[in-house]
A and B are shown apart, each in its own frame.
Chain A
Amino acid sequence: MHLDHTHHGPSALSADAHRPDGTRRALRIGLGGPVGSGKTATVAALCRALRDELSLAVVTNDIYTREDAEFLLREAVLPPERITAVETGACPHTAIRDDISANLEAVEDLEDAVGPLDLILVESGGDNLTATFSKGLVDAQIFVIDVAGGDDIPRKGGPGVTTADLLVVNKTDLAPYVGSDLARMAADAKAQRAELPVVFQSLRGETGAADVAAWVRERLAAWTA
């Protein structure tokens, strides 16, 4: 949806690829998924992996205002002015899908304040399996689930699992302890997602979020091409 063909005004309306001054805006990637699946930890790992090569910022959509933002600040993955928290009125899925206006304000304010930016990560507060990002807000989305949440989640599907541009199955190191069958999860995900990519990761392992970071770099290359 590129509204810049029909509207000429002082500020962008929604998903315009360009900022009001004509420059290309940052790529926006959303991270969603159930509570406790490791979204914030993945965001932190991505920041550490990418912050030296890219100019990036993070918007969090917490259930309780600033909890995830505070975590990122404590971990010092980015300078504080590059992290913004959006209040969601107890409904992260509303703020990332049905009424994205506060998030759009946040990403635009970040670009104005600390830009130019290459990448903005928009993290959703933990929500249910149907919570996906609006295409008016993000250019691509990552859905993060974990092995401890049950190895039947990929089979159950839902918009997040089925349609996200990248599915991350997190905490693979825990699989033996919670009795999750990674091969079955991979097969189910393949069945649900056809050619869409899936990453299995353990942030405790040596590679950390390297695969996700590589996917982000590819996306960014396509965005700026």
Chain B
Amino acid sequence: MSRAALLVLADGRFPAGGHAHSGGAEAAVKAGRITSAASLEDFCRGRLHTAGLVAGALAAAAVLGVEPRELDAAADARTPSPALRAAARRLGRQLMRAARASWPSAELDALAGEFPKGVHQPVVLGVAARAAGLSPVDAAYCAAYESVSGPATATVRLLSLDPFDATGALARLAPELDRVADAAVEAAGRVVDEGVDALPAASGPLLEVGAEWHAAWPVRLFAS
């Protein structure tokens, strides 16, 4: 097993459906809350410390072998928006397909069989990282980074934002990504002993509300 598998898993071109999701950026752009590279950065920072932290902890816990069924239920409780729950499961199913092709594993096969309609994406991410021989912190980094890279890429398309500005924003978030990944791994370690209630539950009300607003649009560019 190779650490470089992380590069494959975290690659934005990994064919797991992420390109069609804006991570809430499309709603925030239309609401006028993201208008520039600066507000994009602030959006990403908020998403990182809320949804990103939770996703990182879910993924890390899955690498540690915590029962995916329990993690999936915990993800449901931390995702009030049914639109976001559906998007997370759809992305989980898409990631499952790519992961099974990349790192064939009995655990991935079993999970796909148990949940034909999909598991929350970060849980699949963790099981995939496990299949790839990666560590909890690798999975946490991957989940936390995805929580900000998706909105950044989407905003480049939505606002015709200068891609250098968007990438610069991601680079500036790097130290916070480090902290979030560490916190996620620390929480995941507690989950092993204390159960899934030890998972972080950080939330962004406007992410949840915005997702419902977005899901009701008849016309949109991104799936979520």
Q: Do A and B come from one complex?
A: yes
Interface residues, chain A, CB within 8 Å of chain B? Answer: 3, 6-11, 13-14, 63-67, 86-91, 94-95, 98-102, 104-105
A13 adjacent to B97 (CB under 8 Å): yes
Collect the chain A residues with CB atoms within 8 Å of residue B112's CB: 9-11
B22 adjacent to A99 (CB under 8 Å): no
Collect the chain B residues with CB atoms within 8 Å of residue A101's CB: 15-17, 94-95, 97-98
- Is B1 an interface residue when CB atoms closer than 8 A count as contact? no
Collect the chain A residues with CB atoms within 8 Å of residue B220's CB: 64-65, 87
Complex CA distance for A14 and B98, rounded to whole angstroms: 9
Complex CA distance for A9 and B93, rounded to whole angstroms: 14
Tell which of A3, A88, A100, A105 touches B93, judged by Cβ atoms closer than 8 Å: A105
Greatest chain B CB density within 10 A among A8, A65, A88, A104 is at: A65
- Is B219 an interface residue when CB atoms closer than 8 A count as contact? yes
A88 adjacent to B20 (CB under 8 Å): yes
A64 adjacent to B219 (CB under 8 Å): yes
B219 adjacent to A67 (CB under 8 Å): yes
What is the minimal beta-carbon distance from A207 to any residue of chain B, in angstroms? Answer: 34
A99 adjacent to B93 (CB under 8 Å): no
A98 adjacent to B100 (CB under 8 Å): no
Given contacts A63-B221, A101-B17, contact A6 B94 (CB under 8 A): no
Complex CA distance for A104 and B98, rounded to whole angstroms: 11
Q: Known pairs A87-B20, A94-B19, A99-B18. 12 more at Cβ < 8 A?
A: A9-B109, A10-B112, A13-B101, A64-B220, A65-B221, A88-B20, A90-B221, A90-B222, A98-B15, A99-B19, A101-B17, A105-B17
Collect the chain A residues with CB atoms within 8 Å of residue B21's CB: 89
Tell which of B16, B19, B113, B154 touches A10, judged by Cβ atoms closer than 8 Å: B113
- Is B116 an interface residue when CB atoms closer than 8 A count as contact? yes
Collect the chain B residues with CB atoms within 8 Å of residue A10's CB: 109, 112-113, 116
B16 adjacent to A87 (CB under 8 Å): no
Between-chain CB contacts (< 8 Å), 13 pairs: A6-B104, A7-B109, A9-B112, A9-B113, A10-B109, A11-B116, A14-B97, A64-B219, A67-B219, A87-B221, A87-B223, A91-B19, A98-B13
A89 adjacent to B222 (CB under 8 Å): yes
A90 adjacent to B157 (CB under 8 Å): yes
What is the minimal beta-carbon distance from A87 to any residue of chain B, in angstroms? Answer: 4
Question: Which 5 pairs between the two chains have the least Cβ-Cβ distance?
Answer: A87-B223, A101-B94, A10-B113, A99-B15, A89-B20
Collect the chain A residues with CB atoms within 8 Å of residue B100's CB: 7, 9, 13
Complex CA distance for A177 and B117, rounded to whole angstroms: 52
